[in-house]
């Protein structure tokens, strides 16, 4: 799962429409996973392209300010940055890989699209609470389930409000599978058979039968 987080939120500095921006983890393993995710974020080398970095810069200073504002609001609301949450000491639109804990469902950082290298971690007690937290946003492009229990995976996948659900690997699938969201994440589908249907001319022939 930790490797999925590396690609899910820190690839392209989190500037991916289907980024893995929230982790909702059972309370029994919350502390252990939070520690591992914090170590992961701290191990990521940021830099420009000629420095062969693990993660590069944000697209602009405007986006940099937007990400910084989300982080500052979260801190003021009581969230804790276990690592990151600010810019590194170097010029440019770089932002430190960030992990937030003590995040509540009403914080903007848990309900809005940050579009930066910022991960939030929330604990749940049972599956019903996990689904409530996962669906507690108007954005519903992608979701994921990490579990070895296939029946539980299928049940939770059905309950998740998302256009695609990745199981045990973020960005699972390929061009053969449809891609698109619901709610504020839009409608319609790209890729797969559903995407090809956008290029099809259909004809309706209606006949009255006596």
What domain range is 48 assigned to? 2-173
Q: What is the CATH number of the domain that holds 47?
A: 3.40.309.10
Q: How far is CA 11 from CA 6, 156, 183, in A?
A: 7, 26, 25
- For residue 145, the SS3 value is strand
What is the count of structural domains for the chain? 1
Examine residue 181 and state whether it is found in any structural domain, yes or no.
no
Q: How large a percentage of the chain has pLDDT more than 90?
A: 75
Q: Which two tokens stand for residue 100?
A: 């937030």
Chain segment 84-143, per-residue pLDDT in tens: 999 999 999 999 999 999 999 999 999 999 999 999 999 999 999 999 999 999 988 999
Answer whether residue 200 is part of any domain.
Answer: no
Residue whose tokens read 């992990």: 99
19 vs 5: CA distance, rounded Å: 9
Asked if 99 and 114 count as a contact pair (C-beta separation under 8 A), the reply is no
**Residue 73, token pair as written in the block:** 């609001």
Q: Cα separation of 142 and 163, whole Å?
A: 6
């Amino acid at each position: 799962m930790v490797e999925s987080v590396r690609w899910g939120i820190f690839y392209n500095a989190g500037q991916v429409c289907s980024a893995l921006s929230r982790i909702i983890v059972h309370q029994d393993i919350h502390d252990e996973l939070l520690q591992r995710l914090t170590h992961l974020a701290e191990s990521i080398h940021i830099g420009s392209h000629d420095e062969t970095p693990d993660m590069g810069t944000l697209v602009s200073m405007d986006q940099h300010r937007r990400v910084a504002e989300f982080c500052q609001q979260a801190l003021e609301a009581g969230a804790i940055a276990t690592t990151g949450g600010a810019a590194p000491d170097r010029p440019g639109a770089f932002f430190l890989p960030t992990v937030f804990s003590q995040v509540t469902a009403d914080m903007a950082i848990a309900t809005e699209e940050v579009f930066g290298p910022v991960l939030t971690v929330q604990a749940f007690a049972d599956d019903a609470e996990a689904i409530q937290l996962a669906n507690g946003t108007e954005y519903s492009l992608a979701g994921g389930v990490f579990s070895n229990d296939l029946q539980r995976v299928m049940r939770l996948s059905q309950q998740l409000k998302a256009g695609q659900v990745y199981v045990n690997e973020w960005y699972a699938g390929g061009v053969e599978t449809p891609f698109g969201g619901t709610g504020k994440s839009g409608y319609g589908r790209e890729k797969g058979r559903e995407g090809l249907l956008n290029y099809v001319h259909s004809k309706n022939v209606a006949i009255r039968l006596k």
